[in-house]
Every structure is written in structure tokens, then in C-alpha cells.
Amino acid sequence: MLGRSPHVVAGRSLYTRLVVRVGAVLLVSAAVLLIAIWISTQLAARQAYDRILAGSALQIAENTWYDHGEVNVDVPLAALSMLGTGDHAIYAVFDPRGRVIAGDAEFRPEIPWNELEQGPLLRDGDYLGTPVRMAIIGRRMPVDSPHPWAVIVLAQTNNARMSFAQSLGGKALVVIVAMSALTILAAMFTLYQALAPLKRIEAAIRERDLNDLSPLSLTVPAETHALVSAINAFMERLVVHRATMRRVIGDAAHQLRTPVTALVAQMELLATEPSEEKRQRHLALLRERTRHLGALVNQLINHAMVQHRNDSRLQERIDLADLVRSQMTEVLSNRARTPHDLALDVPPLPCLIQGDPIALGEAIKNILDNALQYGAPGLLHVRLDSDGQRHRLSFIDDGPGIAAEDWERLRKPFAPRGENRMGASLGLSIVEEVMRAHAGEMRFAYLPDGHFAVMLDFPAWQEPA
């Protein structure tokens, strides 16, 4: 069973987060809807009861007339019965002089004489400390007066309309709460179903064998496709790294088996040899085989390092001239013999490339070591040329060079070159891998003057967009 990574902290459930957020949105929406319905019911109740109140007042106004210098009124019972039960109705009829001729004489609201022509007027008022709603209607009388109106004021307490609004609001609240609960349950179920592909991805990874790094083959929603693609890309990189590790281990085991066996056999011969002269020969051969084994181990380590760094894709901006100068200084300082004709020719302007300075330095060092050890008896020129788009680094020596028929073969690792060379013949294969990782190219050539050249071609640095 896989252990839990200490760098991965389990936070709050994504399902819980979504449910909480969806629930919050639904609750806010329900609250807004409830407020809107409450306001709407209040307005609807107000308008309905205002129409009834105005209609009742009009009935009283229709039964008001002028006769023999007096205003008369006959209040129909139907006008008051229309106002319903649960409320107290108060009315008063005023003549043009403002006297109460019918109704409650104590009910004397302020009369808007100048607005009576507009028709029924609806006002909020007060009767003995109780809020009421009033309908005020004026009926013109045939009199000579600044206010030729008989005024009917009909008032009603607000109990019925408040009860009506509360009844509608309460029913709406029940409906909204029930629908909100059902919606939240439906959302929870929907979210659970929507997140089910993540469970399938988890199960597909958890049930896999530790050695199975093949891509996941799943049909997933578009939103999780990028996640599965990233997982598959990561597993592909793991496959590459594991293959590189196995190849390095296999190469090391294969290449080290023979020299180690020979070294052990040589030591056994040395231990059993009685002759001092032969012991000295065995000892010299043992030193030679030890140096051979050291060179082989060093090349294998460098090869593994270059492969690892190429896979890691460490990219920096590098001045190729500075890199060549530093590598030449390091290599030549460790040499007891150097060619008498030694030159480095670089342009005055920087030749910038993008790459890994350690891997590139190893490649340059391998070419210099080969040139100094197996060629360049008297001449080694390193020249850097650039046309702005590509940079060419040339290593020229006056040694025998490499036969043209071996140029392709020696790009591969462990390709034997004979000539009693120590190591695993990995130098040029390392250079080839580094150049491939840097989108470059390694070429060989014999120059017209007979000198041999190894050329490295690099793309120039491009500023990121």
C-alpha cells in the first residue's frame, strides 16, 4: 500500500466545498425571492383592499344629493358590508361648509379640498390612535361656495389586509423552503455524480501494479481531461527515466564485468607468482588494468550524468565563448603535454545559446580530451563562428582523425575504436546525446589542409515571446 506523501495535505472535501457554495447561493436566492414575494403580496393586498375601499366610498357618494339647501345622504349597508369582517369601518360625510352631516362626528381628518377633482383619493390616516386607510371622494353640489363639495371619507383599519398579506407570504415561504430543500438535495446528488470521474481516476491509479506505468485509458469529462493528460505525461516521463536508469545499470554491468574479472584474475596471479620479475610484470599489468577500469567507470558516470540532465531539461542562457574558454582552461591545466600550436578564436560579440552548462561542458571536455589524447600532436585550434541564427564550434587538430566509414558508428555508445584505447568509447556518444538534447548537430570533416575537424552546430538564443 502506498504511503501518504508528507507534502500533500488533505484539505476540505471538494464535494463539501461545492455543496456549501451551491447551498449558500440557493439560500441567498431563496431569501431574495422571499423578500420579493413579501413586497409583492403587500402591494397586491394594498391594491385589492384599496379598490374595495374606493368602491364602497363611491357607493356612498352616489347616494348623496342636495335638496332645499341641504346635503342629504343615504348610506347603503352594502357599501359597508363590502369591507369584510375583522376590520372596523368609520365614515363621515361633510357638507360644503365642512359640517358632519352623517357618520362619526369625531372622525375629522384633514380634507384636501383642492384635490377633490382628481377623483377618489387614498390616504393613510389615524383614528383614535389606530392606523387606518382612507378613501376621500368629493361630490359637487349646486351651491355658491369656495368649496362646492360634499365630501365622503370612508376609513378602514388594516387588520384584514395585513392578515391577507401574511397568509400569502406564509404560503410562499412554505413553498420556497420546500423547493429550496428539494433543490439542495438534487444539487448534492448531481454534484456527487459529477465528481464520480475523480473517484474512477483514483481507483484506476490505486489498483495499478507498481511497475505498470502505461497511460491511463479512461473516458473522462472535458474538465478532467487535462488532469488525466498531465498524469499520463508524468508517467511517460517516469517510463523514460526508468528506462534510462535500467540502460545505465545494464551498460555498467555489461562493461564492468570483463575488466573486473580480469582485474581479479590478475591479482590472483600476482598472489601466487613466486618469481619477482614476473610479479613486477603482473603488477605493471595490474596498474594498467586499474587505470583502464578507472577510465571506464569515469565514462560511465559521465554518460549517466548527461542522460539524466538531458531528461531534466535544465535550460539557461549560456555564452558559448565563455563556456569553451573555461573548459579549455580546465582540460589544458591537467595535461603534462600540450600542442605547440594552440589557439582559441571567438567573435567579439557574445554567442548565446540555450542549454545546460554542465552537460555542454562535459561534451566540450570529451572532444578536447579525445583531440589531446589521440590526435593533435602539434596543433589544436578551437574556432567559434556565428551568422546570428546558428553558432558553429569547430575543434581542429592535425591528428589522424576518424575514418569516414566510422563517423556514424562512433555516435553510438560502446562502439569500439581499437587502437588500445581505454574506457568505454562513450566520449563521442555523450557529445551526440548532448547535441540532440540541445537541438544541435555534431559533424566530422577533413579540411582542405588535411586537418581533421569536429564541428558542433547550435541554434542561437531566442528571446522568449
Task: List, for residues 236-261, the tens digit of each pLDDT value.
Answer: 877 777 776 777 676 666 666 767 77
Spatial CA neighbour of 154 closest among 56, 63, 86, 65? 56
Confidence of residue 333 (pLDDT cuts 50, 70, 90): confident
* Whether the predicted pLDDT of 222 surpasses 50: yes
The cell for 322 is 565563455
If one compares 100 and 224, the residue with the highest pLDDT of the two is: 100
* Whether the predicted pLDDT of 416 surpasses 70: no
Confidence of residue 3 (pLDDT cuts 50, 70, 90): very low
Spatial CA neighbour of 151 closest among 46, 268, 64? 64
Q: How many CB atoms are located within 10 Å of the residue 120 CB?
A: 19
Confidence of residue 323 (pLDDT cuts 50, 70, 90): very high
pTM higher than the cut 0.75? no
Residue written as cell 552546430? 457
* Whether the predicted pLDDT of 143 surpasses 70: yes
Whole-angstrom distance, CA of residue 399 vs CA of residue 421: 15
**For the sheet containing 121-127, what is the strand order?**
100-103, 89-94, 149-157, 130-140, 121-127
Determine the length of the chain.
465
Residue 110's Cβ-count burial label (10 Å; 0-12, 13-18, 19+) is: exposed
Cβ atoms of 374 and 390 closer than 8 Å: no
Confidence of residue 388 (pLDDT cuts 50, 70, 90): confident
pLDDT-wise least confident of 104-108, 117-121, 212-216, 393-397: 212-216
Q: Where are the alpha helices (DSSP H) in 340-382?
A: 357-374
Average pLDDT, the chain: 81
* Whether the predicted pLDDT of 20 surpasses 50: yes
pLDDT, tens only, 428-463:
888 888 888 888 999 999 999 889 999 999 998 877
CATH code of the domain occupying 37-166: 3.30.450
Whole-angstrom distance, CA of residue 188 vs CA of residue 182: 10
**Amino acid of residue 20:** V
Mean pLDDT for the stretch of residues 368-381: 84
* Whether the predicted pLDDT of 464 surpasses 50: yes
Secondary-structure class of domain 314-459 per CATH: alpha beta
* Whether the predicted pLDDT of 26 surpasses 80: yes
pLDDT-wise least confident of 92-106, 140-154, 369-383, 416-430: 416-430
- pLDDT in the model for residue 324: 93
**Amino acid of residue 393:** L
The number of C-alpha atoms within 13 Å of 64 and in the hemisphere containing its C-beta is 26
* Whether the predicted pLDDT of 406 surpasses 50: yes
Mean pLDDT for the stretch of residues 291-314: 66
Mean pLDDT for the stretch of residues 275-284: 78
Measure the CA dihedral 244/250/255/259, to 10°: 130
* Whether the predicted pLDDT of 224 surpasses 50: yes
- pLDDT in the model for residue 459: 92
String of DSSP letters for 288-351: HHHHHHHHHHHHHHHHHHHHHHHHHT--EEEEHHHHHHHHHHHHHHT-S---SEEEEE--SS--
Cβ atoms of 363 and 299 closer than 8 Å: no
Domain boundaries, the chain: 37-166, 209-312, 314-459
If one compares 202 and 352, the residue with the highest pLDDT of the two is: 352
Spatial CA neighbour of 19 closest among 136, 191, 154? 191
Whole-angstrom distance, CA of residue 453 vs CA of residue 158: 108
- pLDDT in the model for residue 325: 92
Q: Residue 46 contacts by C-beta under 8 Å, 6 or more apart in sequence? A: 161
Confidence of residue 384 (pLDDT cuts 50, 70, 90): very high
Spatial CA neighbour of 433 closest among 375, 355, 369, 380? 355
* Whether the predicted pLDDT of 311 surpasses 70: no
* Whether the predicted pLDDT of 379 surpasses 70: yes
pLDDT-wise least confident of 124-128, 309-313, 344-348: 309-313
* Whether the predicted pLDDT of 157 surpasses 70: yes
Cβ atoms of 165 and 41 closer than 8 Å: yes
Share of the chain above pLDDT 70, in %: 87
Whole-angstrom distance, CA of residue 74 vs CA of residue 324: 120
Share of the chain above pLDDT 90, in %: 11
